[in-house]
Amino acid sequence: MASCHGLPQTLTTPVELLSFKPGQSCQVSGCIPSPHPKGCVLAGGTSIPLGSNFRYGSDYCRCEMSGQLHCRCAAQTIRKEIRDLAPDELLRFQQAVQKLKLQETANEWDRLRDLYMHHIVHANRPELYLPWHRVFLRHVERKLQAIDSSIAIPYFDFTTDAGSLDTAIVWQGNYFGGDGDAERGGCVRSHPFGPTDSWQPCLRRQFNLSVPIPSLLELAVSLSYDDYMDMSTSLESLISYVHVFVGGDMVTSGSVYDPVFLAVHSFADMLFWQWQRAQRQRVYPAAFWDTIMMPFNVSPKDVVNSEDALCVGYAVSAKGAPCNWTGEMYPGGLVPPQYSHCYGADGYDNIGYDIHGVNRQGKGTISQILKTNLVPFHVNVNTTMSHWSQRFCFDVDMFLQSCDCQDELVPCDTDPCVDAVCPAIPGAMCHVSFCGKCEAYWVFQDKVVNCLAQPKGEMCGGCLLSEGAVTQRGNWLHT
């Protein structure tokens, strides 16, 4: 066994140690691979002969003599948040998954599960977790695109429903189906990926409501790390909470058997994609740059650029959301963008905001601010929530602000409200402005006040002001 443990350091060919066979030498058990690859391995275990040109999904690919797969984009695949999919887009995705699972000649869905189970240790190594899953998702996506070239795997931003994930729209029968039936061994009674009882074994879930779902704030902390290993390890741990919450197949080594796996890990890849696009210098560690990811025979350097290497990009949530016009019609049925006021089936308008001015993730300025701020700021964000903030599991009120056109959102290294006081108005609440510069400002009775102003007149108890507001004894209110 010790000799097998030492193989990765002594061999020049890619080695992945998956299991040990008692009583057999490393040579006999197959620990030592052939230095000459026989072909390119696709998800599901299919091997393509060296030197072959073939169509993979909607892309044109070649299996190089090195055993590496190189593909040329026929079209860029853009992944959307699942609630932004038009009904026909969602239906085509579901039908393609169903076909992979229920096809008569070869059960591709089970093969994908088996491949993942076989390589799960390799796939979850901290340095390979994100790039390995990036490659795996693309292989699955290409199999779906072989059925319908328009398909893109949707991502599911679970922070939208961090306060009550069990009631999220994705568990409806026309999305992924709901919780499993305890009386049927956790089998999901109804889902859109085939007729009742058509999946054998059944699709299993067992929601664990005691598991906390990561909030947007916690994801922001993960993405604020500039070091890749810090970010990746943190993000992997947060994603694991979703696996444990869903339960059933999602807590087994065959978690990919549940189609919701694709949406959850597509979201993780989208976060990795966002982390890479941040302004600060963020790079994959050079020490693992050339590590071969099995069984795909590619390294992180081959896939670190998602758009160029894999033909995959992401649409920011709500950019592609279908919208229903609710106002008067304009000539030709067209609505000028500056006048449009329409809401989709989920209650959000054509640019993704609800009637309160908050988008479906509570984002917009919230997301942008959290992504640009550093860890010392994030750890001090208030988690005492207003009623509607409970949906996001942290207080989002301070982030709902707009800036003048000339002011850009700027990051805060620390929270300027920590230990800050308002000497003129002790009852005022401290807020943070991110417009142009990071600074504190104070609000009392829904008005911005000047805490440094010198009070005029005498203090009073319960004074009636000109606008009808009543201040407490000992406080000064500047109107």
Q: Nearest to residue 400, comparing CAs of 356, 446, 466?
A: 356
Q: Is residue 280 part of a domain?
A: yes
Mean pLDDT of 412-421: 80
Whether residue 261 contacts residue 250, with contact meaning beta carbons closer than 8 Å, is answered with yes
Q: Is residue 93 scored above 60 in pLDDT?
A: yes
Predicted confidence (pLDDT) at residue 166 exceeds the cutoff of 50: yes
Q: Nearest 5°: phi and psi at 368?
A: -65, -40
Closest CA to 425 of 464, 451, 445, 448: 451
283, part of any domain: yes
Whether 68 is in a domain gets the answer no
Helix (H, G, I), strand (E, B) or coil at 123: helix
| pLDDT (average), residues 121-140 | 93
**pLDDT at residue number 362:** 44
Most confident listed range (24-38, 74-88, 361-375, 401-415): 74-88
* Confidence band of 333 (pLDDT split at 50, 70, 90): very low
Q: Which two tokens stand for residue 359?
A: 């988008």
Least confident span in 127-131, 133-137, 155-159, 349-353: 349-353
Q: Could you tell me if 53 and 77 lie in one domain?
A: no
Q: Are residues 294 and 405 in the same domain?
A: no
pLDDT bin (cut points 50, 70, 90) of residue 456 is low
Residue 85: give its domain's CATH number: 1.10.1280.10
- Residue 338 covered by a domain: no
Say how many domains are in the chain.
3
Of the listed ranges 168-177, 204-213, 366-375, 456-465, the one predicted with least confidence: 456-465
Mention every residue, 6+ apart, whose C-beta is less than 8 A from residue 281.
Answer: 226
Is residue 285 located within the same domain as residue 409?
no
Q: Is the pLDDT score of 119 beyond 60?
A: yes
The last residue of one of the domains, among 295, 314, 333, is 314
Q: Are residues 39 and 109 in the same domain?
A: no
In a domain, residue 101? The reply is yes
Most trustworthy range by pLDDT among 90-94, 223-227, 329-333, 428-432: 90-94
Q: Name the range with the highest mean pLDDT among 258-262, 348-352, 367-371.
A: 258-262
Does 269 share its domain with 134? yes
Q: Are residues 175 and 282 in the same domain?
A: yes
Q: What percentage of the chain carries pLDDT values higher than 70?
A: 65
Find out whether 438 and 451 touch, Cβ atoms under 8 Å. no
Q: Do residue 50 and residue 93 come from a single domain?
A: no
Instruction: Identify the pLDDT of residue 61.
Output: 78
Give 17's pLDDT tier (boundaries 50, 70, 90): low
Among the residue ranges 128-137, 374-383, 397-406, the one predicted with the least confidence is 374-383
> Which tens digit of pLDDT belongs to each residue from 249-297?
999 999 999 999 999 999 999 999 988 887 556 788 999 998 988 888 8
**One domain, residues 85 and 32:** no
Pull the structure tokens for residue 257. Answer: 């058997």
Given a cut of 50, is residue 478 above it in pLDDT?
Answer: no
139 plus 257 within the same structural domain: yes
Please tell me the distance from the alpha carbon of residue 202 to that of residue 114, in angstroms, as a whole number.
16
**End-of-domain residue from the set 268, 299, 314:** 314
Q: What is the mean pLDDT of residues 2-26?
A: 52
What CA–CA distance (Å, rounded) separates 421 from 426?
Answer: 7
What tokens appear for 315 in the block? 């649409």
Do 78 and 131 sit in the same domain of this protein? yes
- Decide which of 25 and 294 is more confident: 294
C-alpha atoms less than 13 angstroms from C-alpha of 260 in its C-beta half-sphere = 32
Per-residue pLDDT tens over the stretch 184-234: 999 999 999 999 889 999 999 999 999 999 888 788 888 888 899 999 999
Helix, strand, coil shares of the chain, percent, nearest 5, are: 35, 10, 55
Q: Does 336 map to a domain? A: no
Q: What is the pLDDT, as a whole number, of residue 222?
A: 87
Q: Which domain holds residue 383?
A: 376-479
> Are 121 and 36 in a shared domain?
no
The domain boundary, picked from 314, 338, 362, lies at 314
Whether residue 63 is contained in a domain is answered as: no
CA pair distance 461, 244, nearest whole angstrom = 55
Percent of the chain with pLDDT over 90: 33
Residue 305: inside a domain, yes or no? yes
- What is the per-residue pLDDT for 355? 44
Whether residues 298 and 401 fall in one domain: no
